[in-house]
Structure 1
Amino acid sequence: MDVDALSATQKEALAQLQAIMDGGDADVAIGVLESVDWDVQRAANLIFENGIPPTKPRSPSPVSHIEEFDIDDSSQGLLGNNSRGGREFRRVHPSSSGALSARPLRAILAVLTLPLRLLTSVLRFIFRILRIPFPQFVPFTWSSLQYRPLGPGSGGDGRALDPRAQAERWVRALEEETGAVCVGRAGARRAEAKAGSVASGADVAGPSSLTSRAGAYEEDGGEGVTKFLPDFFLGSYEEFVRTCERGAKIGCVVLVSEEHDDVPEFKRGTLTDPTLIKLIQDNDILVWGGDIRDREAWSAAQKLQATTYPSVAFIALQQRRLGGSGSSSAPVLTVLSRQQGPSVPSTSAPTAAQSLVTHLTEQLLPRVTPFLAKIRAQAAERERERQLRAEQDRAFEESRQKDKERIEQRQSEERRAQQEQRRQIEAEARARDEARAKEEARHAWEAHRMEWRKYLRRGLVMREPRPGETGRGKTMRIGLRMPDGRRSVRFFGEGDTLTALYAYVDSMFVPKEVPDKGDPLGPPENGEPGEAGLVKEIERSGRAPEKWWAFKLWLAYPRKEVVWEPARRLGDVEALRGGGQLVVELGAGAESAKAKGKQRASDVLAGGEDDDGYETEE
């Protein structure tokens, strides 16, 4: 059918199916799509179930896409006997018409064998619970009634899917058929059984008396009666090959085909041979196996050029052999030997256990082991060097990190020190500014008070009454002792006010070198004259009277304070009736407390408003 005649949807379906088939014949793909009404999913299932070839043969050679291996046949040993027992396997490519014609027959067989399959499933379940291997009648089995074409795409039961699932299914089928168990699986089962018995307190079960269809079990050190199989690698063939390369190990590839009559005996005899299994375990040989009806095993068979089954191939890294005298290159994965054919007779057959053991111990292991040991040693040395470099890098990184942390910590400390120093400088500057402002305010206040003292000396200090003068009342004699030790006696009339007495005492603080001729006639700053102006000045200053005057008057004996009150007559002060002796005490500021009243009068008022205490005479 012409592809150009297809619609856009049909062309898209054809492209998807060819992508699944990795190319493939367009006519075959179109025929399959037409049979399923152009459903790509059903067409793909039909191809993989019925074995329709997914790709065109691109060359006459059947191994055109096979991965290249070096083949080392220098010591094949038993390969010469391959032709006696084995028969060649020829791959058959079923045509699409043959596959489609087999579908009705397959449906009829499926209906006829349905009761038998149900009965087989029940029996298999019962045998599995009783841990009895289910018998298989070779070559006739229920599975042989199904149409199972050979090739990488065969198998309607999911054989072309997950490689690990394929490997696990094949190993389980091998265990069921041989009545044996893989060595690793048996060890795990014994460990679980011991753990369960210890937990429950029950005794370990003794040897079983059950027998398999392959014969009686063999004793295993008193732990149970069983046969063993090698520990098969569970995964794809490519993963197996990469594992052999990475670990520099010998790989053993076991390929079988149920279409060959020699395979059942090979499974029951060779694969369960204790000597061969012990040799494989002791030399750490990796084993991978499969049935060529599975995709992975079919691919491995093509790459290893296996033609007769059962087939056992040994692979490992070997030095590439160069034709000239050039230097050797990196080791390459090489097919060391291939053993193909029957396993009987047991002494000379190619795949017999004794033949394989002899081949391994006398030829393959002595020839391959030293080179693999050298590769492993070199790999171990490289790993040690890598670990050493990693440790050095880690130590260097830790040292660098510590240095970085120390540098950051030092920088942080320096920043904190700078900030603290800056804060101290700023605090000191503020303190100096505040002190300067206070000093300026103090000097301004002292200058202001000095102006008021001069005014009070001229305007409010009254002259002493003359003898016989009666207009100011009875004359009073008042003695004063100043803070600096000076003494003064002054006569006042009883009609004089306390303000006149306080003004006289305040004028005593004017330096002697300042003459009274220069005293102002009016109050400073154009204030009101007289006592009323003084009262307003005290209120305007915001200071208490004792703070404004900056001194107090105390009666010497008995000690009693003469408090200033505006417009109060001296005759009305009980403590001063008839006169008296007064002591002038300054406010207890910082400078007055140190000087004890002996400093200059201009320093008397410094800081007076900050302290309410007074310095008393002792």
Structure 2
Amino acid sequence: MADARIASLRDVLASRGHTRSEQPDDDVMSAMLDIEGDIDAAARSIDDAQAAERRRLEDAPQRQRAVSPLRVPPVSRAQTLSGIWGSGWLATLWRWVSMPFSVLHFLAMIVLRSVGLTSRAPNGRDTIELSRFNEDPREAARRWILELERDTGGTSVPDESAQMRIALPNFFAGSYSDALREAKQQIQILVVVLTSTTHTDAAYFRTEVLTDAALVAQLRNEEFCVWGGDVQAREAFQVSRLLEASTYPFIAFIALQPRRSRSRGGALVAHPAVLSRMEGSPRTNLGAMSILAHIQDIVLPRTRTYLGSLRSERQHREMERELKAAQDRAYAEASKRDHERVLKRRAEEEQRAAHEQSKLSSEAAARAQQEKAMQWRCWARTNLVPLEPGANVAPQLRVAVHTPDGQNLQRRFSPTDTLEQVYAYVDTADVAGDHTGETKAPQDYVHRYAFDLVQTYPRRVLDKTNLQCALQDVHGFGPSANLVVEGMHDSAAADLDSSDEE
């Protein structure tokens, strides 16, 4: 099976003008078939590799390599072995042993050269550039743009600071997959530009075609997304195989096109498709005017209707999304205001309820205090106010008290009675007979007299700080005393009123 494939590959190469002597051996043929997986692709790779090799040989100057007088001429491996062991048969044996490895090295270099992994060093030998071939796709794209700007003296950034420089297409500085994704999201036409430094027209294409003002103005339009790369890089090489590029420079136009989807029941869905390809010499069919005419006559008419409908749908969706977002914001703001209003009303209700509760608690405490005050007055009327001495009992003191409500209280006290008993008599004067007889004072209650007893002449306030003082020891308190009630508070009057009602 492998021999048949190799024979088919040799037939394809012969049809392309390669003689039997110019074709690689069977091992290289097998390796190329394993790499490419297709006879035509392997033939194209071998053809490109040999064409590149011929151009390198034609363009390379014929330099005479003179041996420097300061450098010792190289010594062959056989001479080294002969000098070490002093025998020529060891060198012959070494050549026979190392011959398979030399053949394998030669075949590996041919394969690497065919896929663009080797380059010519100044000494004429092949050097492997695996680091560049394995370079990150995004970094490779940015490096390709920088090299293009360096070679042309232009810029691909459309800003005001670059007006004095030559304009270049606005190349996408990312990987091919990123550029394809960007073109799909923005509904743009993806323009893929592939070059190869091994082709003689590469410099002319970069400096003359990609700097054309009309072409640059067209490609800088919002309808286009431009991505470029050199096939010496890994991703650009893979893209060239994907787009079936046969020669360079190469340009492909990719855009969304309607396609029926089996997973969606045959519905039409937008799918990226290759619209057209352009390749060849930039001096003829790949010149700036040819590319511009191809875009205006073929690419744009083919995509304008469908992409325009996709853009209209996207704009409609964006408008609906913005409208929904505005409605959601308005609803969120209204909900926030309603929530704040509810919280405010709830706080006011809680504050009102707390105020009512405090008021009820205060009223309950006041009522309890009034009840304790009335209980104390009833108790004091029986247990604290002394019995009035008889008219024939001597000595005795006559006390007359004038209250703020116009009452005149008169009573006899014993000289040994205390000042507190006089205050209690005046404070309990309004206690009815039904409330007397309390035998127990209220607990947790300290009674405070809310008035002062004042002697009329000379005016003297009976001190409440010494209520246990006997009346006979009170200064200015004679056999009779006229007293006036002063400073009775409203609370005391309210208590008296409530007691009167009771």
TM-score, normalising length from structure 2?
Answer: 0.60
Alignment partner of 1:182 is 2:121: no
Question: Which of 381, 387, 390 in structure 2 is aligned with 1:453?
Answer: 387
Relative to structure 1, the CA distance from residue 321 to residue 338 in structure 2 (aligned partners, 3 Å threshold; closer, same or farther) is: farther
Alignment partner of 1:240 is 2:199: no
Residue 319 of structure 1: CA displacement? 1.7
Relative to structure 1, the CA distance from residue 306 to residue 97 in structure 2 (aligned partners, 3 Å threshold; closer, same or farther) is: farther
Find the aligned partners of 1:593 and 1:338 in 2 and give their Cα distance.
107
Q: Could you tell me whether the CA contact under 8 Å between 1:163 and 1:296 is conserved in 2?
A: yes
Residue 408 of structure 1: CA displacement? 1.6
Other-structure match for 2:486: 588
Other-structure match for 1:26: none
Other-structure match for 2:316: 381
Find the aligned partners of 2:103 and 2:242 in 1 and give their Cα distance.
27
Q: Which runs of 4+ in 1 moved over 4 A?
A: 53-63, 96-100, 102-105, 140-146, 478-488, 497-502, 508-511, 550-555, 558-569, 573-576, 591-595
Alignment partner of 1:101 is 2:105: yes
Q: Counterpart of 1:330 in 2: which secondary structure? A: strand
Other-structure match for 1:419: 354
Q: Aligned partner of 1:462: which letter?
A: A
Question: Which of 426, 432, 435 in structure 1 is aligned with 2:370?
Answer: 435
Q: Could you tell me whether the CA contact under 8 Å between 2:193 and 2:226 is conserved in 1?
A: yes
Q: Counterpart of 1:453 in 2: which secondary structure? A: coil
Q: Counterpart of 1:253 in 2: which secondary structure? A: strand
Q: Counterpart of 1:176 in 2: which secondary structure? A: helix
Relative to structure 1, the CA distance from residue 228 to residue 88 in structure 2 (aligned partners, 3 Å threshold; closer, same or farther) is: farther
Residue 175 of structure 1: CA displacement? 2.9
Residue 357 of structure 1: CA displacement? 1.7
TM-score, normalising length from structure 1?
Answer: 0.50
Find the aligned partners of 1:278 and 1:592 in 2 and give their Cα distance.
98
Question: Which of 43, 48, 59 in structure 2 is aligned with 1:89?
Answer: 48
Q: Aligned partner of 1:584: which letter?
A: N
Q: Could you tell me whether the CA contact under 8 Å between 1:310 and 1:342 is conserved in 2?
A: yes
Q: Could you tell me whether the CA contact under 8 Å between 1:164 and 1:234 is conserved in 2?
A: yes
Q: Aligned partner of 2:48: which letter?
A: F
Question: Which of 391, 399, 402 in structure 1 is aligned with 2:337?
Answer: 402
1:574-585 matches, within 5 Å, as: 582-585=480-483
Q: Counterpart of 1:338 in 2: which secondary structure? A: strand
Other-structure match for 1:130: none
Find the aligned partners of 2:360 and 2:169 in 1 and give their Cα distance.
85
Other-structure match for 1:608: none
Alignment partner of 1:351 is 2:286: yes
Relative to structure 1, the CA distance from residue 447 to residue 354 in structure 2 (aligned partners, 3 Å threshold; closer, same or farther) is: same
Alignment partner of 1:462 is 2:394: yes
Q: Aligned partner of 2:196: which letter?
A: S
Relative to structure 1, the CA distance from residue 144 to residue 385 in structure 2 (aligned partners, 3 Å threshold; closer, same or farther) is: farther
- Name the stretch that deviates more: 411-420 or 280-289: 280-289
Relative to structure 1, the CA distance from residue 453 to residue 367 in structure 2 (aligned partners, 3 Å threshold; closer, same or farther) is: same
Relative to structure 1, the CA distance from residue 189 to residue 486 in structure 2 (aligned partners, 3 Å threshold; closer, same or farther) is: closer
Q: Aligned partner of 2:146: which letter?
A: R
Deviation per CA, 1:286-306, whole angstroms, max 9, x where unpaired? 211111110110121122121
Other-structure match for 2:247: 308
Residue 243 of structure 1: CA displacement? 0.9
- Name the stretch that deviates more: 155-164 or 439-448: 155-164
Residue 386 of structure 1: CA displacement? 0.7
Other-structure match for 2:68: none
Find the aligned partners of 2:137 and 2:418 in 1 and give their Cα distance.
123
Q: Counterpart of 2:134 in 1: which secondary structure? A: coil
Q: Which has the higher contact order (CA 8 A, sep 6+)?
A: 1
Find the aligned partners of 1:341 and 1:328 in 2 and give their Cα distance.
38
Q: Could you tell me whether the CA contact under 8 Å between 2:137 and 2:175 is conserved in 1?
A: yes
Other-structure match for 1:200: none
Q: Aligned partner of 1:453: which letter?
A: L
Other-structure match for 1:366: 301
Deviation per CA, 1:90-141, whole angstroms, max 9, x where unpaired? 699xxx9689837999xxxxxxxxxxxxxxxxxxxxxxxxxxxxxxxxxx99
Relative to structure 1, the CA distance from residue 448 to residue 342 in structure 2 (aligned partners, 3 Å threshold; closer, same or farther) is: same
Relative to structure 1, the CA distance from residue 99 to residue 445 in structure 2 (aligned partners, 3 Å threshold; closer, same or farther) is: farther
Question: Which of 131, 145, 168 in structure 2 is aligned with 1:171?
Answer: 145
- What are the ranges of 5 or more consecutive residues in structure 2 without an aligned counterpart? 1-30, 52-99, 110-118, 430-438, 440-445
Q: Could you tell me whether the CA contact under 8 Å between 1:229 and 1:271 is conserved in 2?
A: yes
Find the aligned partners of 2:368 and 2:361 in 1 and give their Cα distance.
10
Find the aligned partners of 1:500 and 1:358 in 2 and give their Cα distance.
132
Q: Aligned partner of 2:321: which letter?
A: R
Deviation per CA, 1:172-204, whole angstroms, max 9, x where unpaired? 222333x331342674344xxxxxxxxxxxxxx
Find the aligned partners of 1:238 and 1:363 in 2 and give their Cα distance.
25
- What are the ranges of 5 or more consecutive residues in structure 1 without an aligned counterpart? 1-52, 64-82, 106-139, 150-154, 191-222, 465-477, 491-496, 512-524, 526-541, 604-618
Find the aligned partners of 2:462 and 2:219 in 1 and give their Cα distance.
124
Residue 260 of structure 1: CA displacement? 2.6
Relative to structure 1, the CA distance from residue 429 to residue 402 in structure 2 (aligned partners, 3 Å threshold; closer, same or farther) is: same
Q: Counterpart of 1:319 in 2: which secondary structure? A: strand
Find the aligned partners of 2:158 and 2:168 in 1 and give their Cα distance.
10
Q: Aligned partner of 2:371: which letter?
A: R
Q: Counterpart of 1:329 in 2: which secondary structure? A: strand
CA radius of gyration, larger in: 1
Relative to structure 1, the CA distance from residue 339 to residue 145 in structure 2 (aligned partners, 3 Å threshold; closer, same or farther) is: farther
Other-structure match for 2:327: 392
Find the aligned partners of 1:162 and 1:421 in 2 and give their Cα distance.
76
Relative to structure 1, the CA distance from residue 144 to residue 247 in structure 2 (aligned partners, 3 Å threshold; closer, same or farther) is: farther
Find the aligned partners of 1:434 and 1:54 in 2 and give their Cα distance.
111
Deviation per CA, 1:318-373, whole angstroms, max 9, x where unpaired? 122799xx9651111111101111123xxxx3312222122112222122123212
1:526-537 matches, within 5 Å, as: none
Other-structure match for 2:235: 296
Relative to structure 1, the CA distance from residue 590 to residue 306 in structure 2 (aligned partners, 3 Å threshold; closer, same or farther) is: same
Identical aligned pairs, as a percentage? 26
Residue 228 of structure 1: CA displacement? 3.5
Q: Counterpart of 2:303 in 1: which secondary structure? A: helix
Residue 161 of structure 1: CA displacement? 2.5
Relative to structure 1, the CA distance from residue 487 to residue 413 in structure 2 (aligned partners, 3 Å threshold; closer, same or farther) is: closer
Residue 268 of structure 1: CA displacement? 2.9
Other-structure match for 1:114: none
Residue 391 of structure 1: CA displacement? 1.0
Residue 480 of structure 1: CA displacement? 7.6
Question: Which of 331, 334, 350 in structure 1 is aligned with 2:270?
Answer: 331
Q: Could you tell me whether the CA contact under 8 Å between 2:156 and 2:171 is conserved in 1?
A: no
Find the aligned partners of 1:251 and 1:592 in 2 and give their Cα distance.
96
Residue 142 of structure 1: CA displacement? 6.8
1:255-270 matches, within 5 Å, as: 255-270=194-209
Residue 431 of structure 1: CA displacement? 1.0
Relative to structure 1, the CA distance from residue 186 to residue 89 in structure 2 (aligned partners, 3 Å threshold; closer, same or farther) is: farther
Find the aligned partners of 1:262 and 1:273 in 2 and give their Cα distance.
16
Residue 273 of structure 1: CA displacement? 2.2
Residue 143 of structure 1: CA displacement? 7.8
Relative to structure 1, the CA distance from residue 104 to residue 291 in structure 2 (aligned partners, 3 Å threshold; closer, same or farther) is: closer
Q: Could you tell me whether the CA contact under 8 Å between 1:256 and 1:292 is conserved in 2?
A: yes
Find the aligned partners of 2:364 and 2:206 in 1 and give their Cα distance.
100
Question: Which of 250, 254, 269 in structure 1 is aligned with 2:193?
Answer: 254
Find the aligned partners of 1:55 and 1:445 in 2 and give their Cα distance.
126
1:70-85 matches, within 5 Å, as: none
Relative to structure 1, the CA distance from residue 359 to residue 322 in structure 2 (aligned partners, 3 Å threshold; closer, same or farther) is: farther
Q: Could you tell me whether the CA contact under 8 Å between 2:176 and 2:235 is conserved in 1?
A: yes
Relative to structure 1, the CA distance from residue 91 to residue 449 in structure 2 (aligned partners, 3 Å threshold; closer, same or farther) is: farther
Q: Aligned partner of 1:260: which letter?
A: H
Find the aligned partners of 1:171 and 1:584 in 2 and give their Cα distance.
119
Relative to structure 1, the CA distance from residue 398 to residue 322 in structure 2 (aligned partners, 3 Å threshold; closer, same or farther) is: closer
